């Protein structure tokens, strides 16, 4: 299975480079083709939806236990870079404390992805903005969870 994923990544990279003139790293393609953290969490402790003027948007869902992120998920209908960045931001956040996760910067997401093509750093900024907003949402309702409103299932 890993061989077929590697072959798929190489084919997608070659196609995008030839047809679009964009050279994505293996990590970007992997996080786009097979995003391990894509999806929703029912009744998350932290939730946010953020959108940008480019039209891309992202929702971030966090399950938190004793101020530690035990599960992070995202949804997005954005471009390759946005989906890859959302997946990587969720990957980096999972296992961290809420306060440490606030320190995850767009540069760390870009570096973990092996770089993003010129002009696509805003994808990592969107992912980090959604993560931070979800963290703020958690902290706002941490002591009054009955006041939290949950996103509607899609």
Domains of the chain (ranges; CATH) run 37-145 (3.90.1010.10)
Write out residues in the chain with pLDDT < 50, as ranges.
Answer: none
The predicted pLDDT at position 95 comes to 98
Largest CA distance in the chain: 53
pLDDT of residue 151: 73
Q: CA triplet 7, 10, 12: central angle to 5 degrees?
A: 105
Over residues 82-115, the pLDDT tens digits come to 999 999 999 999 999 999 999 999 999 999 999 9
Query: Residue 143: exposed, middle, or buried by beta-carbon count in 10 A (0-12, 13-18, 19+)?
Result: exposed
Q: Can you state the angle between helices 80-93 and 26-33, rounded to 10 degrees?
A: 90
Q: What is the pLDDT of residue 148?
A: 65
Which token pair is 44? 């998350």
pLDDT at 5: 82
pLDDT at 55: 80
The pLDDT assigned to 141 comes to 83
Tell me the C-alpha distance between 43 and 75, whole Å. Answer: 15
Q: Output the pLDDT for position 2.
A: 65
User: Residue 46 has what DSSP assignment?
Assistant: E
Measured between its terminal Cα atoms, the distance across the chain in Å is 30
Which pLDDT score is estimated for 128? Answer: 98
pLDDT for res 56: 86
């Amino acid at each position: 299975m890993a061989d077929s994923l590697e072959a798929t990544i190489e084919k997608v990279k070659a196609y995008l480079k030839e047809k679009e003139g964009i050279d994505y790293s293996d990590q970007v393609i992997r996080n786009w083709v097979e995003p391990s953290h894509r999806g929703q969490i029912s009744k998350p402790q932290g939730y946010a939806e953020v959108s940008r003027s480019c039209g891309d948007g992202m929702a971030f869902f966090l399950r938190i236990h004793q101020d530690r992120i035990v599960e992070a998920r995202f949804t997005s209908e954005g471009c390759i870079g946005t989906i890859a960045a959302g997946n990587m931001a969720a990957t980096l956040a999972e296992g961290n404390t809420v306060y440490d996760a606030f320190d995850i910067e767009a540069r760390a997401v870009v570096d973990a992805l092996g770089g993003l093509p010129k002009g696509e750093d805003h994808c990592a900024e969107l992912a980090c903005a959604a993560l931070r907003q979800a963290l703020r949402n958690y902290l706002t309702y941490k002591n009054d969870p009955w006041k939290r409103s949950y996103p509607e299932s899609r």
